[in-house]
Amino acid sequence: MELRTLRYFVAVAEELHFGRAAARLHMSQPPLSRAIKQLEAEVGALLFARSPAGIALTPVGAVLLDEARALLDQADRVRVRVAAAAGAATLTIGILGDGTDPGITKLAAVFRRSHPGVDIHIRNTDLTDPTCGLRAGMVDVAVTRAPFNDTALTVRELRTDPVGAVLRADDPLAGRDHLKLADLADRRWFQFPQGTDPIWQSYWNGGTPREGPVVRVVQECLQAVLWNSTVGLAPLGHDLPENLAAIPLVDMAPSRVVAVFNEGDTNPLVRSFLEIAMAAYRH
């Protein structure tokens, strides 16, 4: 199995949609579909159950997803350590969730112009690690969302976004202009896997322990709302499928977009990245 093919597989497994996965990977859909079929042939089993309603992981696919994530994380660690030993001009940037944020787009353009000779690596991460691999040494700097445990980390706020409750469009509360957390007190919410940063988990649970399905990525959150009428939370201003609605929560603290790096890091590229990020998000 090639690491590239495993990255393709993880993208499809997390998005549960070939079109979205292809866009995330910056490639067209046909070669992605071919790569997945080739991987299934190599494994000797179907990784996805396909139907007119969409795709879902098979039990074999679920096992491979866990193993592929672990293998890719290890490969990232090796690459970072080797690059550091070689003294190469590289910068590995962790990005949480949606890399199509206009702030990220502007930041990328300005940083690229300022440092044309730097080899930039991007690590997109799921919702279970708000530091995007920073603590594990897999990235040099991350653009993510607070709050989370920031011990030994330097955090700089770039922007704040109001937060809304994501509901099915036919939910009785979906027609409201706004909601309070108390309006959702008896509802099921999504959960992150065991071991996820408790500060991060508490924020996305509205400050109160909740019960609900376990998710790892944004698409799983949306599917939990769609299929199970689970309550999700999301920063307002992001596009949602037409069968879902985001209702502003007036007593929910805003979600903070932040740049974060290891405390005491003297890498001049990291410092330059921070300065450019602050300016890109400010204007």
Contacts of 254 (CB under 8 A, 6+ apart): 160, 161, 162, 163
Per-residue pLDDT tens over the stretch 163-182: 999 999 999 999 999 999 99
Both structure tokens of 103: 């702030």
The CATH code belonging to domain 1-86 is: 1.10.10.10
Per-residue pLDDT tens over the stretch 207-224: 888 888 898 888 888 888
CA–CA distance from 105 to each of 109, 110, 118, 277 (Å)? 6, 9, 17, 11
Both structure tokens of 192: 């992150």
Per-residue pLDDT tens over the stretch 270-280: 888 998 999 88
Domain boundary assignment for the chain: 1-86, 163-253
Q: Can 1-86 and 163-253 be said to share one CATH topology?
A: no
Phi, psi of 170 (to 5 degrees): -95, 10
Q: For the ranges 50-64, 85-99, 214-228, which has the lowest average pLDDT?
A: 85-99
Write down the pLDDT at residue 246: 94
Asked if the model's pLDDT at residue 146 lies above 90, the reply is: yes
Please state the rounded mean pLDDT for residues 55-78: 88
What architecture is the 163-253 domain classified under in CATH? 3-Layer(aba) Sandwich (3.40)
Write down the pLDDT at residue 81: 66
Closest to 58 in 3D by CA, of 6, 13, 110: 13
Q: Is 236 left (phi over 0), alpha (psi -120 to 50) or beta?
A: beta
What single DSSP character describes residue 263?
Answer: T
Task: Determine the Cα angle at 234 with ends 121 and 182, to 5°.
Answer: 150
